[in-house]
Structure 1
Amino acid sequence: MVRSRRNSLVRDIASHPITSDAPTIVGLLDDSYLFDKLKKLSLAVESSDSLKSGDGSESGSGIYESEATSAVNMNKTDKYSYYNSYLDQLNAKICEYKVVLDQTRQVNDQLNDSIEKFKEISQETGAFIDETKTIYTEQSRLSKLTESIPRTLHYFEVLDPIMRRLNHASSPSIVKKGSFSTMLATIDESLQFLDDNGELKDAAAYRIKFKQCLIRACELISHFLHNLLKQTNQEILDKTKNKNLLVGLPSSTRDAFLYSKFSTISDTFKTQVSEIVKRSNDKAYYKYHDELNSILYECFNQYFQTRLKLLTPVIWSHIDEISVKDKDQDLVKFIQDGKTYFQQLCANEYKLFIEFFPEKECRFKINQWFLQLCEPLYDSIRIKVLKETDISTLCDSVTLFAPYYEFEEGSEEYLKQFTDIQYDKLFEPIVQKLQARLILRVQIYVQQNILSYKPTKDVFMISNRRGRPKTSTNGDNKNTVATRNGSDSLLESYLASFKNRDMLSTYSNDTNDTYTNLENSSYKFSQLQTYYPPLLKTLALLSKIYEMINSVVFDDLAHHIVHDCIISLRNAYDMVMKTSAGKSDINNLDVSLAYLKNLLMLRDSIQNFNIQYTVNETYLDFSGVEWFFKSLKENGRNVLKKTKSSSILTLARELVPKVVNNMVDARTELISELRNVIKDFTENTSLELIDNTLDIKNDEDLLAKNLKLRGNIKARLPRIYEQILNYIDDQEIVINLLDAVQELITQSYAKYYEAITELAENEKLARNKVADIMYLDVFTDFFAKEVADLLRNGRIDIETK
């Protein structure tokens, strides 16, 4: 009986190929070869089953039948032969894999051994590299050192031949040879090397020797240049036979000798001196600057002395010509001619100098020498300045040099103005001498014309009231101040400047009434002459010296001038007030107003000068000594007794002069004077208006006095207002004066009203008398209305005029 194949392994594999439900089979099928064989076997089994289960037709191929038949037979023979074969093959493969695995382990062990050996080799190689690198570095250093030794020795070896050549130089002309320039370059290189390598043995000693060689070489250049200048100077003198003959030569011929002939050696001179200049200004030679500068300055001196010997006769000859020509002329013309000549002379010398010396490095030296070159001008001007007494002339002389002092030293504009020749330094000695002389003459002028001025009794009197001058047919007015005080050119110039300025403004205005304007101009000019003469001289002096002197000196000088002017004004005011004591109050008001007018003029005028009024004054106080001798003279015994009773140290302490530091402010002094005179004017005006109307007496009629007070205000206030207008032009000041008078009278009336009210309350005065007088607010309104009417009418009158 044939066994069914339904449950056979082949059938099961054929029916269920590789699935995840048969884990044991999956492991066997991992072999691709076995899988292929099983797949073929499965196909053969399926084809055999299909042939037998069909309708018996012979539709399959013969190959499949044979395979199926042989498969069936094989299954019958040994159903596990495939598996055994497969196991055998697996075992064989396993053995092969074990062999391969063993070989792989051996190779791995060998590789690990090789890696360890390579690490050892790497460490040995690193150590070798480090060792060879050190050796290489040392070898490179030694190689470089070996190569540098000849070059280094060269800096030392050249010293002996250089010293021999310099020590045996028989003539300074050696400097013209090219080898001399090469030798200088070698010295420079050796010095630079020794400065950079000071650690070398004996480097300091060699540096000193090379420095001596450098100084010696520069001295040879200096001697050569000196001989060159001396030879050229001698040639010029030989051709002119005598240096004084240069004076008599025509200017073109003289310039040919002084400049053209002299400049023929400029190229040779400049080439050689540049060697010294270059090293003197080189920062690398800062250790040798003193010696090099000494040699360079010697070259400067030789050049300047040579030029000075040639120029001095010519300069003095020209100064003599100017002195003769300007003998009868003033100082200004002499200074102008001398200034023009020396400007051109310095310009020519500067142009020649830069042909001999490098301009940028040596410009400062020629400007210093110009001061020596201009000494003849300084001497001649100094003699004339010491003889000059006119302040205007001195100021005009200072003005000649004003263009050189417009800009602050060091500013951009200053550097542009004085790129070559510093004319401000060149003419500074002249300006200083002029300013010193000007200060002296100003002090003398102040003493003679301000402090020593003797005012007359009518200096502030009514004759100086404001009024229209009587003009002559030709329009000329005499200078009242000059007539009273003698001729004063400074004052006349100041007054004339005012007159000319007013006349210029008159003609410049568009008006149809030129005659009226000319009359007003003459009127203003005449009013200027009514001021206190020392005041006008003070203003004339300040306006003249303004910006003529150093600002600090001017401030100090102007302060004392203003202070002295105030003292002179105050003394005149006190003198006139004492003289007019006991006279009418009207005269006193005129004096106060005139004094106020002058102080206001002083205040308004000095504001234009930008004066720093405050100054420190230090002086010795001998008041203790003065007191002692005065007391000793008046009461000698008592003083001696007091001296004996007190200690000697106490007496000595009292007699020692004290140093006093005093802060003086002329502006404060002026303001104080203004306040005082306004106070005096206000009090005097109030007394004139009040009279005796505010006196309290029981037996007098208060109403009558009150009416009198009102009448005084109505009658006298307009006249006082007219008096103020006669002296004061400023309407604001006029208003302030009237306000001050109104305030003082109102305060006096308030005290008066309060006093009589208190008397009435104490029944010392009848109440009906108090009721008859004006209340305080009524009086205040009344006075204010009167003042307002005066100001309004006065303004209308001014506008009408």
Structure 2
Amino acid sequence: MDDVASARSENENGRKIRNRLMQWESKTDPLAALSAQQEEYLDVLSNLWRNEVATPSPATTPTKPTNKESTAPADCTADIKLPAGELNNTNDFLLWFVVVSAEIEERGDANYHKYLQQLEQRKGECAHMLTQIAVAMDRLGALSSEYEFVSTKTSALNTASEQLISEQEKLQELSNEIQWRLHFFNQVELLNQRLQSPTLSVASEAFRECLNKIDECLNYLAENPKFKDAAAYNLKYKQCLAKATGLVRNYVYSVINQATEATLHPRNATGETSLQAPDAAFALYYGKYQTSAAKVKRVAQLIESRLDHSSEYEQLMTDLQQHYLTMRASVMSPAVNQSIQNVKAAHKGDHCSLTRSACSFLVHVCQDEQRLYYQFFETGAAHLTVYLEGLCTILYDTMRPFIIHINHLETLAEICSILRIEMLEEQVQQNPNTLQAFATITHQLLQDVQERLVFRAHLYLQSDIQNYNPSTGDLAYPEKLEMMESIALSLQEPAQLRRSDSRSSMVSSVSSAMETESVDTAYRAQQMNSPADLHGMWYPTVRRTLVCLSRLYRCVDRPIFQGLSQEALKLCIQSVAYAAGKISAAKTPIDGELFEIKHLLILREQIAPFRVDFTIKETSLDFSKVKTAAFGLLHKRKQLFSMGSNNAILEFLIDGTPQIKEHLLDSRKEVDRQLKTTCEQFIKDAVHMLVGPLMTFLEKAQATLAAGPAAQSTLRQCVWSSPQQISGVIQETQRLIKSKLAVLQRAMQLYLSNRDTEFIIFRPIRNNIIQSFVKLEQLLTTNGYSTDDMTITSCPSAEQVSVLLSSASVLAAEGMASFAAAARKISTSSSVETVANRKVSTSSNKAASVQETTAETTQENEVAAKIDATPAGIE
């Protein structure tokens, strides 16, 4: 049963296998799908089988496939043997297939086995080669060890050689350095031999080399003072240097002495007459020295280039320069002194010419001496300056005795100008280095002249200004001015005659009035430049003060001038005030005040160009507290020895110390202050002269009204304040205005001679007069005076007073015209008819003149607004 079952199972399994094998090549659903290569193999196998069946040969060569890819398998299966029997079933095929597959696999790996054999052969060769390489490496290692040994020995040998060479170089350098250092010690004997050689010349190149070696050795020893025997060798080189400097000194002294001897004692001298010509004198005093300059210059340059090396060179250079200057002083001092004495004799009595000539001579001497000096040396300007100062001192010693005896300010001022401007500013500023010594001595001389000038100026201010006693002619005012005015009119007579002839045909009243105004204008124009306004007509102290200040301005220093100007202006103001008082006592206060105003205006105008500050500071001691402290000490006698803080003596010492006060004095402001005071006094006196009765009445009325309210009602009842009395006062005032105003304006024109100044001073007078009438009108209006009383008094309004003043001014102008006509009548008789026609035409057109005067007043008011020179306080 088991066998049957097993057989069945085997059949069943065989059937299943066959079925599955049949399904392997199924085209629809193959169990084992073959690849293209497998299919090719299968085709090959089929072909082989068919061929084998057709021709049953033991073996046949298969056909070479056409596809390149089947080449390898064909090669592999080329020798495959077919089975001995037929393949009857699948099992046989499978068995055969297994055998064939194993054979194919074996044949396919044949190449690999062959390659493997080759690799094994190569492996054997490589192993043999590695064995040889190992042997070679062993030999190479031995060789490398030997090389390293040899290289180490060689490097050590090279290092030792280099060290030996380096030590050799160091020793060589040390030897050279020792030789170089010994060189500075070994030169002593050689230098001594050269310096003691009789053939050695100071101007030679060998001597220059000796000095160079001495300097070099001394410098080296100074830099290395710790060397052995350095001090001893330094002393030896110093001795060599002393010998060299001695040779230079002897040589230069010899050359300079020879030139000096040839100059002082020329061989071809025939007497002093041969030296009078400037060229001959210059050749004598400078020719020999210029010839010797080249010899000394060469040696001097050799020493001057070494001044920084050693003090011996500096001392040598100083000795050479001093010797040269000493020799030149022995030559030039007598010559300069003699020349100054000759100039002094030539300009005897003329100190200005003496100063100018002597200074010019010294300027040339200084320039020539400096030029000659720098032909010998290039340094030593300080020694040269001292020498030139010695020569210039001769001028100082010659001029000083004259200066201290000169009394004239003009001469001293001229000498100051010569020294200050011509010499210091012109000559010295052009050559400041060359003329430094001359400038020093000239400045000293200028200071002496200025000191003498200041001293004489103080004496002059005291004697000729402060103590000046005016003569009768000095105080003859206004006669002196009237005389000069008549002279001025007579000088202008030809021009006036021509104008009179040209105006003789004008007979209308308007033309006559215009003629009168033109005459007045012409008169005023000539008055502004009249001889009465020249400085010759000024009061002597004013003229002297201004002349003195103008002399001092360019001669003394500014602080000194400020002090002198302060004193001079103060004394001048006092002198003018004194003269004004004399004139006021002899004539009228108006004359004295106008005289003072005129000269104060001159002072203010003339000191304006001085560009200095007229302010000086004065220091004084205030002893006012000393007196108070002394009284306190007397009252505290019991506390004299008190030990507390209330000690009387201590308080006296503290509180009684004088106080130091400083005062600023401005002479320019003092002139303005005095001018202001005088103008105010003149305005006051002028107003009182014109409206004196009215001012007296107003002062009396104000005094009465000041007594109380009851007095206001009684003012109308008083006899002196009745309308009739007031009318008399007004009429008297108007009469004074008509009669005195012309005199006042005539005096102002005569003294001031300037229309603008007259207008400035007359304007407050006019305003005060009008203000007086305005006050009177207000007094009458506010103190119970009726309309009838106002009519009786006939008090004019401000406009009427202005017209009255203008008409009076016209009358004054007519008076001036009459005076001019009278002066011309005295000088010539041909102008009488013209003067008469002008008077008639003026009187017939009085109303027109009043209107023109009113217009002129308006014009004057416009002019007054443009004037800036109004003295402070006049208005």
TM-score with structure 2 setting the length: 0.60
* More divergent stretch after superposition (367-376 vs 422-431): 422-431
Matches of 2:671 and 2:42 in 1, distance apart?
146
Aligned counterpart in structure 1 of residue 356 of structure 2, from 336, 346, 367: 336
Give, as a single letter, the amino acid of the residue that structure 2 aligns with 1:453. Answer: Y
| CA separation of 1:408 and 1:445: change in aligned 2, threshold 3 A | same
Q: Is the 8 A contact 1:466 1:727 kept in 2?
A: no
Aligned counterpart in structure 1 of residue 425 of structure 2, from 373, 390, 406: 406
- Who is 1:305 aligned against? 326
Task: Say whether 1:735 aligns with 2:755.
Answer: no
SS at match of 2:530: helix
Give, as a single letter, the amino acid of the residue that structure 2 aligns with 1:462. Answer: P
Residues 108-149 of structure 1: CA distance to partner in whole angstroms, max 9, x if unpaired? xxxxxxxxxxxxxxxxxxxxxxxx999999999987666444
Shift of 1:363: 4.4
Matches of 1:314 and 1:11 in 2, distance apart?
154
Matches of 2:424 and 2:354 in 1, distance apart?
21
Task: Say whether 1:396 aligns with 2:414.
Answer: yes
Residues 402-449 of structure 1: CA distance to partner in whole angstroms, max 9, x if unpaired? 23433798xxxx4x5446444544643443333333333322322221
> What does residue range 584-623 of structure 1 map to in structure 2 within 5 Å?
587-618=588-619
- Who is 2:366 aligned against? 346
Shift of 1:748: 5.8
| CA separation of 1:529 and 1:341: change in aligned 2, threshold 3 A | closer
> What does residue range 648-687 of structure 1 map to in structure 2 within 5 Å?
661-687=662-688
Q: Is the 8 A contact 2:481 2:532 kept in 1?
A: no
Aligned counterpart in structure 1 of residue 300 of structure 2, from 273, 289, 299: 273
Matches of 1:673 and 1:312 in 2, distance apart?
58
Shift of 1:678: 1.6
> What does residue range 389-788 of structure 1 map to in structure 2 within 5 Å?
389-401=407-419, 402-406=421-425, 414=429, 417-418=431-432, 420-422=434-436, 424-425=439-440, 427-456=442-471, 459=475, 461-465=477-481, 468-471=484-487, 523-524=530-531, 527-577=534-584, 579=585, 587-618=588-619, 661-693=662-694, 694-695=698-699, 696=701, 698=715, 699=718, 700-701=721-722, 704=727, 705=729, 709=733, 712-713=736-737, 716-745=740-769, 760=783, 765-766=784-785, 768=787, 779=798, 783=802, 786=805
Q: Is the 8 A contact 2:25 2:33 kept in 1?
A: no
Matches of 2:568 and 2:658 in 1, distance apart?
27
Matches of 1:172 and 1:713 in 2, distance apart?
116
Residues 636-685 of structure 1: CA distance to partner in whole angstroms, max 9, x if unpaired? xx9x9999999899999999988664432211211211111122112212
Give, as a single letter, the amino acid of the residue that structure 1 aligns with 2:422. Answer: P
Matches of 1:756 and 1:203 in 2, distance apart?
123
| CA separation of 1:642 and 1:621: change in aligned 2, threshold 3 A | same
- Who is 1:496 aligned against? none
- Who is 1:493 aligned against? none
Shift of 1:313: 3.5
Task: Say whether 1:261 aligns with 2:279.
Answer: no
* More divergent stretch after superposition (231-240 vs 446-455): 231-240
* More divergent stretch after superposition (379-388 vs 652-661): 652-661
Give the RMSD, CA atoms, in angstroms: 6.0
Shift of 1:601: 0.7
Matches of 1:198 and 1:775 in 2, distance apart?
122
Q: Is the 8 A contact 1:175 1:221 kept in 2?
A: yes
Matches of 1:157 and 1:248 in 2, distance apart?
60
Matches of 2:42 and 2:741 in 1, distance apart?
159
Shift of 1:453: 0.8
- Who is 1:314 aligned against? 335
Give, as a single letter, the amino acid of the residue that structure 1 aligns with 2:763. Answer: D
Matches of 1:364 and 1:588 in 2, distance apart?
69
Shift of 1:372: 1.3
Q: Mark the runs of 5 or more structure 1 residues left unpaired by the alignment.
A: 16-41, 53-57, 104-131, 476-515, 629-637, 797-801
Give, as a single letter, the amino acid of the residue that structure 2 aligns with 1:600. Answer: L
| CA separation of 1:278 and 1:441: change in aligned 2, threshold 3 A | farther
Q: Is the 8 A contact 1:460 1:595 kept in 2?
A: no
SS at match of 1:335: helix
Q: Is the 8 A contact 1:398 1:434 kept in 2?
A: yes
- Who is 1:151 aligned against? 180
Give, as a single letter, the amino acid of the residue that structure 2 aligns with 1:300. Answer: Q
| CA separation of 1:64 and 1:768: change in aligned 2, threshold 3 A | closer
Q: Is the 8 A contact 1:460 1:590 kept in 2?
A: no
Residues 249-295 of structure 1: CA distance to partner in whole angstroms, max 9, x if unpaired? 45455544422223332122222233343334x4x66xx4xx65554
Q: Is the 8 A contact 2:528 2:754 kept in 1?
A: no
Aligned counterpart in structure 2 of residue 185 of structure 1, from 212, 216, 224: 212
Task: Say whether 1:381 aligns with 2:402.
Answer: no
Task: Say whether 1:355 aligns with 2:379.
Answer: no
SS at match of 2:468: coil
Give, as a single letter, the amino acid of the residue that structure 1 aligns with 2:765. Answer: V
| CA separation of 1:724 and 1:526: change in aligned 2, threshold 3 A | closer
SS at match of 1:664: strand
Give, as a single letter, the amino acid of the residue that structure 2 aligns with 1:372. Answer: G
| CA separation of 1:142 and 1:439: change in aligned 2, threshold 3 A | farther
Shift of 1:4: 5.5
* More divergent stretch after superposition (657-666 vs 349-358): 657-666
Matches of 1:273 and 1:567 in 2, distance apart?
69
Matches of 1:652 and 1:66 in 2, distance apart?
153
Matches of 2:43 and 2:403 in 1, distance apart?
154
Shift of 1:324: 3.1
Matches of 1:789 and 1:576 in 2, distance apart?
37
Task: Point out the structure with max Rg over C-alpha.
Answer: 2
Matches of 1:524 and 1:363 in 2, distance apart?
59
| CA separation of 1:789 and 1:660: change in aligned 2, threshold 3 A | same
Residues 71-95 of structure 1: CA distance to partner in whole angstroms, max 9, x if unpaired? 77899625878998999999x99xx
- Who is 2:390 aligned against? 372
* More divergent stretch after superposition (420-429 vs 182-191): 420-429
Q: Is the 8 A contact 1:706 1:773 kept in 2?
A: no
Matches of 1:255 and 1:606 in 2, distance apart?
50
SS at match of 1:374: helix
Shift of 1:602: 0.8
Give, as a single letter, the amino acid of the residue that structure 2 aligns with 1:557. Answer: L
SS at match of 2:407: coil
Shift of 1:613: 0.9
Matches of 1:46 and 1:566 in 2, distance apart?
165
| CA separation of 1:780 and 1:313: change in aligned 2, threshold 3 A | same
Q: Which has the higher contact order (CA 8 A, sep 6+)?
A: 2
Matches of 2:788 and 2:185 in 1, distance apart?
127
* More divergent stretch after superposition (667-676 vs 134-143): 134-143
TM-score with structure 1 setting the length: 0.65
Q: Is the 8 A contact 2:774 2:797 kept in 1?
A: no
